[in-house]
């Protein structure tokens, strides 16, 4: 990959991200002092979010980080990896080529209509990012299909087939979509990105009914620019990635050990708390395991914990933060289910604390059995650690005060978080001493955002098709005919979500599954906030479910241990957290009581 292109992509992503940060911050200031805002601020921010999402998808394709099923990660270490890679990448390039053609047609339509975003900026100008990034993704998937020249040349069959179908949609008009859908399912199992499966399925279904791929790009454009809260995802992700750089993890570990190290199992408690904190901010349990594993595993072993227990604790604690306020899955769930982010944050706090406490309690038990080291409590050390980590601890406090105090909207609060993290890491701690470091970290964060938002964008077409085909209605009819009570429905939902969480990353699962189950849950009178917490808690557990739980695979790579060994190490924690998920599911008071205390429960 040419360095100039890499720098250009990262720089464009940083410019777009900076716009998303600055516009909400200026809105706060102008609203405070001039009781007015920026003309066209909302549509500009929404279109910049589209740019961040699509540039991020291109960056994720460049770095091989587009989200895929866990089966692809499993097969990547098998003897047939090169065959699976060629087939999945070729199919992915074909689907991406279809979207490239559809995006070109969308730009032509917008150019003819001449619609304006604001301040003289035309819609077609903003939409140019769509064909450019989908073309890049197409090229990168085809190039990544093989390391040999022959493999790369033959992989061009994928883009050629995609362009042919996109320019001749009549070939599929009236034909059965299922043969091509089956090809996409196999490709996804082999490792093709999830957006390929969902977007490709939507495109095939619509073309089989006589529509052009442009329809899918119109819905993608509307999804990426139609939600006022969508910008919170890239902003909170940027804040988390900025915080994860440098020595923040060391400062926080020192603080948590100073506070809990005197307890039996103090290091285990500190480890679980630190992992939850970082997963909350970065949005990915795999990121936490990769970033903190090298720091925390030696610390636990040095304090007398067995290596097996330590690996199990780190693997399990990697997903604990997903229920806490500011969690990216909660933000995405709120957007998809059209719920209040603040209510989901409040509803997830107590369940999240319960899951953390259960895992920490198990750590205390193991410490007593293994005779792990305990450090005496030292007031001076605790105060010194607190002072050193004051900026990290202050981030969620500032953001939640701005959000719940009514001083800022969710997007504005996310912009405050990003600015806070930037100032802290660039100027206070100087963990990121140059702007080049800021550009690099922004590129990394945008890559994760792009992997999520491209799924959100292209999956809308499939969702619309299922709604038109009355799939949710059929699901409600079938479920109500076979499931007699709300308790049985919740049990079936637990099992279903556990399987989904084992196979699919949490962001993809939210985009795909939430529109299907909300109607069924409403029939059984499950509170929508409670349903959201059940959903995220079960998918959190799915990360630990053998044999394909994402945390298990990531930990196997990070700690250089066989996957089966990691599974055995994490099994006790899996059983403990399963009890926690069942408590969250069948005791709705844990989720709804804080909302009731604050007068926010309808």
Residues of the chain short of pLDDT 70, as ranges, are 1-2, 35-37, 72-79, 281-287, 602
Domain ranges of the chain: 69-226, 233-597
Query: Are the beta carbons of 17 and 442 closer than 8 angstroms?
Result: yes
- Confidence (pLDDT) at 73: 66
- Confidence (pLDDT) at 65: 84
Distance CA 467, CA 516 (A): 9
- Confidence (pLDDT) at 74: 67
- Confidence (pLDDT) at 602: 64
- Confidence (pLDDT) at 552: 84
Residue written as token pair 């604001």: 118
Distance CA 493, CA 81 (A): 34
Per-residue pLDDT of 7-37, as tens digits, reads 788 888 888 999 999 998 888 888 777 766 6
- Confidence (pLDDT) at 285: 57
3-state per-residue secondary structure call for 54-84: HHHHHHHHHCCCCCECHHHHHHCCCCCHHHH
Of 484, 420, 562, nearest to 553 by C-alpha is: 562
Of 179, 185, 214, nearest to 197 by C-alpha is: 185
Q: How many CB atoms lie within 10 A of CB 594?
A: 19
DSSP string of 248-313, one letter each residue? HHHHHHHHHHHHHTTSTTHHHHHHHHHHHHHHHHHS-HHHHHHHHHHHHHHHHHHTT--HHHHHHH
- Confidence (pLDDT) at 595: 93
- Confidence (pLDDT) at 145: 93
């Amino acid at each position: 990959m040419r360095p100039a292109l890499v720098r250009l992509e990262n720089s464009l992503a940083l410019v777009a991200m900076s716009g998303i940060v600055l516009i909400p911050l200026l809105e706060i200031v102008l609203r405070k002092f001039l009781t007015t805002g920026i003309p066209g601020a909302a549509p500009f921010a929404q279109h910049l979010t589209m740019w961040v999402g699509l540039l991020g998808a291109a960056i994720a394709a460049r770095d091989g980080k587009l989200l895929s099923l866990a089966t692809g990660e499993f097969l990547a270490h098998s003897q047939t990896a090169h065959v699976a890679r060629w087939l999945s990448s070729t199919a992915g390039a074909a689907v991406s080529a279809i979207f490239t053609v559809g995006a070109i047609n969308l730009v032509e339509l917008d150019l003819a209509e001449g619609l304006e975003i604001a301040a003289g900026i035309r819609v077609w100008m903003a939409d140019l990012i769509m064909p450019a990034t989908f073309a890049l993704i197409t090229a990168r998937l085809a190039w990544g299909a093989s390391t040999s020249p022959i493999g790369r040349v033959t992989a061009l069959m994928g883009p050629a087939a995609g362009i042919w179908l996109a320019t001749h949609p009549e070939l599929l008009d009236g034909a059965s979509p299922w043969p091509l859908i089956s090809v996409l399912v196999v490709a996804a199992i082999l490792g093709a990105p999830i957006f390929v499966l969902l977007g490709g399925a939507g495109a095939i279904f619509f073309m089989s009914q006589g529509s052009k791929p442009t329809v899918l790009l119109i819905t993608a454009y509307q999804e990426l620019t139609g939600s006022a809260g969508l910008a919170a995802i890239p902003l909170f992700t940027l804040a988390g990635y900025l915080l994860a750089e440098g020595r923040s993890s060391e400062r926080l570990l020192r603080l948590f050990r100073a506070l809990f190290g005197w307890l039996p199992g103090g290091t285990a408690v500190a480890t679980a708390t630190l992992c939850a904190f970082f997963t909350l901010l970065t949005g990915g349990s795999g990121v936490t395991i990769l970033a903190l594993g090298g720091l925390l595993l030696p610390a636990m072993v040095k304090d007398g914990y067995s290596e097996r227990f330590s690996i199990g604790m780190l693997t399990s604690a990697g997903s604990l933060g997903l229920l806490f306020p500011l969690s990216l899955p909660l933000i995405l769930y709120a957007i998809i289910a059209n719920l209040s982010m603040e209510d989901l944050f409040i509803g997830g706090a107590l369940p999240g604390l319960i899951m953390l406490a259960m895992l920490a309690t198990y750590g205390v038990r193991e410490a007593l059995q293994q005779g792990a080291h305990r450090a005496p409590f030292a007031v001076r050390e605790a105060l010194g650690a607190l002072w050193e980590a004051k900026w990290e601890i202050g981030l969620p406090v500032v953001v939640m005060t701005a959000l719940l105090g009514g001083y800022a909207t969710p997007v504005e609060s996310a912009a405050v978080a990003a600015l806070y993290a930037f100032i802290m890491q660039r100027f206070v701690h100087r963990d990121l001493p140059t702007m080049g470091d800021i550009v690099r970290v922004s590129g990394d964060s945008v890559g994760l955002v792009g992997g999520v938002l491209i799924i959100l964008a292209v999956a809308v077409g499939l969702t619309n098709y299922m709604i038109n085909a009355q799939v949710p209605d059929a699901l409600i009819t079938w479920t109500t005919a076979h499931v007699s009570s709300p308790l049985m429905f919740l049990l079936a939902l637990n099992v279903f979500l556990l399987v989904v969480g084992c196979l699919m990353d949490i962001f993809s699962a939210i985009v795909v599954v939430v529109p299907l189950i909300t109607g069924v849950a409403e029939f059984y009178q499950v509170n929508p906030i409670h349903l959201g917490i059940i959903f995220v808690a079960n998918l959190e557990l799915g990360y630990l479910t053998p044999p394909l739980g994402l945390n298990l695979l990531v930990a196997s790579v990070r700690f250089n241990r066989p996957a089966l060994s990691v599974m055995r190490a994490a099994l006790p924690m899996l059983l403990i957290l399963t009890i926690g998920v069942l408590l969250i599911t069948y005791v709705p008071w844990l989720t709804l009581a804080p909302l009731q205390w604050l007068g926010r429960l309808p």
